[in-house]
Amino acid sequence: MQKEYAETGNIQNLLSQIGAGLDQYLKFEHKDALHPESRWRDALDIALPQQGVGIGKVTEELVNQIIPNGSAITKPGFSSFITTGPASAATLAATAANIAAPQRYTLNAFNFLEELSMQWLASMCRISHMQGIYSSGGSVANLLALGAARQFAFEKIGQDVAANGMDSPTCLYASEEAHHTIQRAAGVLGIGRRSVRKIACDNQGRMRVGELQRAITADKQSGVLPIAIVANAGTTNTGAIDPLQQIGEIAKQHDLWFHVDGAYGLPGILDERISHLYQGLELADSVIVDPHKWLGASVGVAATFVRDRQLLYRAFTQEPADYLEGAMEQEASSPGVIAHSQDDFGIPYYDYGVELSAPCRGVIVWALIREIGVEGMTQRIRRHRDMASYIAKVARAHPNLELLNEPTLSICCFRYVGPNIVDLNLFNQRLHRRLIRENENLPSTTQIRGQLALRPCFIGARTHQEHADALLDDVLRIGKEMENE
Ligand SMILES: *Cc1c(COP(=O)(O)O)cnc(C)c1O
């Protein structure tokens, strides 16, 4: 006898069970998922089930086996990479959208907030003259911006490259510290990964503008069509901000598209102590920021801003399709006819980017800003920057620490040193592995001028000064232990 499966279950009840499991997770008392004592794999690794177990058992397995063995990323001491657990407001909004608005099209409250939150975000980051579109992350956000740049460059020579393809050699300029998603975008757009001119940086990781000028001049002489200049507002490695004003002026001088990758660092503009470093941002033709980095959104939320979304439309439209447009009320509603949200697509984001089906992301950004305001965001940015400066200050003064890079944003690169350590790179590599095994404070590493650096990046909404102190304590303790071994 086959049993009948029906969609059942009371969301409030089920979510409260998941909520209890998540609160337990947020105490961060469990061991790492790959700890030798963990048994979840035995419980989860079963063959394809022919019979279902029901929503109650699914909930139980989520709470007992899966959530406690999740990622270390949400831990407040996690400072590897530029990724973090979402703030609670983001989780709530994402859950609400997941049920109440599973798509970002049709004009409803969620579609409305998609646009409103984008304007808030632009205004908060001081680019309120720009229009935006959300996408899944900095990778796609950069792709959309550079797609607009490519469209712009070809329209100038009378070609619609998105419609007809391209046959001229092209290139773009980015610093050697630019994120590798720039070169991937160049690959996808037919510019070619090898056609990204990697402009050298100064010893603070900022693009050398003289080198940029030289590269552009050389390309113009050889008949290559330059597509864009990409500047960093916060490099992934060290948080360096390129000289935006100078680069923007060079772009104008050559009538070139000026793109600013602020995936991580754009919110740094909220801290008045460094907002002058963003001077020149107003010259940008496109800007990206990842709310899922410093703003605490759940992963899958990035924003691309351009001056005029019509350019994005020309670059990315899928062109009208019967199954979409035919489903709408075409005539303006006559008097007395009650409009229905199904009769209006709302803002057609699906024509400004590469996704048709996509979640409502704006409500997440709306919730984050609504909860703590620009003031709260500013406090958080300042706090994380202060933590990086604090590590730098201690590292400068302590005989067993060496500062390798003066922090700009919330990344600090430093290492452990001692007179008897023969190979500092190897020593710090091992120290880092031990730090990670302890599973409390988890920075990443990077190379600074060939020197292996410990690299905490503080961005978590749950991350505070005590975590900077704890990291330093751990590094000094482990370093001493290792020296005495
Ligand atoms: C993180 C990052 C990206 C890529 O963003 P994802 O959201 O991980 O796809 C691009 N550029 C910079 C500067 C970044 O820090």
Rounded to an integer, what distance in angstroms lies between the CA atom of residue 203 and that of residue 405? 9
CB 353 within 8 A of CB 140: yes
The tokens for 17 are 């069970």
- Summarised one tens digit per residue, pLDDT across range 386-439 is 999 999 999 999 999 999 999 999 999 999 999 999 999 999 999 999 999 999
**pLDDT for res 336:** 60
Which of 143, 181, 259 best tests ligand 1's pocket when mutated (most atoms within 8 Å of CB)?
A: 181
**pLDDT for res 342:** 82
397 Cα to the center of ligand 1, angstroms: 33
Going by CA atoms, what residue is nearest to atom 12 of ligand 1? Answer: 263
The tokens for 380 are 């958080």
CB 205 within 8 A of CB 372: no
Higher-confidence position of 456 and 1 = 456
- Summarised one tens digit per residue, pLDDT across range 262-288 is 999 999 999 999 999 999 999 999 999
- Summarised one tens digit per residue, pLDDT across range 461-476 is 999 999 999 999 999 9
What mean pLDDT is predicted for residues 246-265? 98
pLDDT at 325 over 70: no
3-state secondary structure of 3: coil
- Summarised one tens digit per residue, pLDDT across range 154-178 is 999 999 999 999 988 999 999 999 9
**pLDDT for res 6:** 85
Which of 139, 241, 289, 446 best tests ligand 1's pocket when mutated (most atoms within 8 Å of CB)?
A: 139
According to DSSP, the residues that pair with 289 across neighbouring strands are 303
pLDDT at 331 over 80: no
- Summarised one tens digit per residue, pLDDT across range 197-239 is 999 999 999 999 999 999 999 999 998 999 999 999 999 999 9
The tokens for 200 are 């050298």
Q: pLDDT exceeding 90 applies to what percent of the chain?
A: 89
Ligand 1 binding pocket, CB closer than 6 Å: 82, 137-139, 142, 179, 181, 232, 236, 261, 263-264, 290, 302
The DSSP letter of residue 63 is I
Going by CA atoms, what residue is nearest to atom 14 of ligand 1? Answer: 263
Minimum-distance ligand 1 atom for the alpha carbon of 140: 9
Beta pairing, strands 225-232 & 257-261: parallel
Minimum-distance ligand 1 atom for the alpha carbon of 138: 5
| Residue bearing tokens 């400066």 | 389
| Residue bearing tokens 């798509």 | 103
pLDDT band at 4 (very low <50, low <70, confident <90, very high): confident
Measured N-to-C along each axis, helices 424-438 and 465-483 cross at an angle, to the nearest 10 degrees, of: 120
Which of 80, 236, 361 best tests ligand 1's pocket when mutated (most atoms within 8 Å of CB)?
A: 236
262 Cα to the center of ligand 1, angstroms: 8
Angle at CA of residue 252, ends 316 and 244, nearest 5°: 90
Q: CA torsion, points 216, 220, 222, 226, in degrees to nearest 10?
A: 70
- Residue 28's nearest CA partner among 77, 61, 66, 62 is 77
Q: State which fold the 91-368 domain adopts.
A: Aspartate Aminotransferase; domain 2 (3.40.640)
Burial class (CB in 10 A: 0-12, 13-18, 19+), 406: middle
- Summarised one tens digit per residue, pLDDT across range 451-460 is 999 999 999 9
pLDDT band at 1 (very low <50, low <70, confident <90, very high): low
- Summarised one tens digit per residue, pLDDT across range 11-66 is 999 999 999 999 999 999 999 999 988 889 999 999 999 999 999 999 999 999 99
| Residue bearing tokens 């005539």 | 331
pLDDT at 343 over 90: no
- Residue 2's nearest CA partner among 50, 54, 58 is 50
**pLDDT for res 38:** 87
Please give the single-letter amino acid code of residue 482.
Answer: M
Residue 298 CA, chain-centre distance (Å), reads 10
Rounded to 5 degrees, what are φ and ψ at 465? -45, -40
The tokens for 108 are 């409803």
The tokens for 354 are 């590469």
Minimum-distance ligand 1 atom for the alpha carbon of 179: 11
The tokens for 439 are 């599973």
Which of 73, 80, 81, 82 best tests ligand 1's pocket when mutated (most atoms within 8 Å of CB)?
A: 82
Contacts of the segment 34-40: beta carbons below 8 A, 24+ positions apart: 38/69, 40/65, 40/66, 40/68, 40/69
Burial class (CB in 10 A: 0-12, 13-18, 19+), 397: exposed
Could you list the beta-strand ranges (E) of 66-130.
Answer: 78-79
Burial class (CB in 10 A: 0-12, 13-18, 19+), 265: buried
**pLDDT for res 328:** 61
Q: List Cα–Cα distances, 387 to 84, 278, 383, 471, in angstroms.
A: 16, 21, 6, 11
CB 151 within 8 A of CB 162: yes
What mean pLDDT is predicted for residues 339-366? 92
Total-model pTM: 0.96
Please give the single-letter amino acid code of residue 331.
Answer: E
**pLDDT for res 67:** 97
- Residue 382's nearest CA partner among 464, 484, 456 is 464
Q: What is the mean pLDDT of the chain?
A: 95
**pLDDT for res 321:** 76
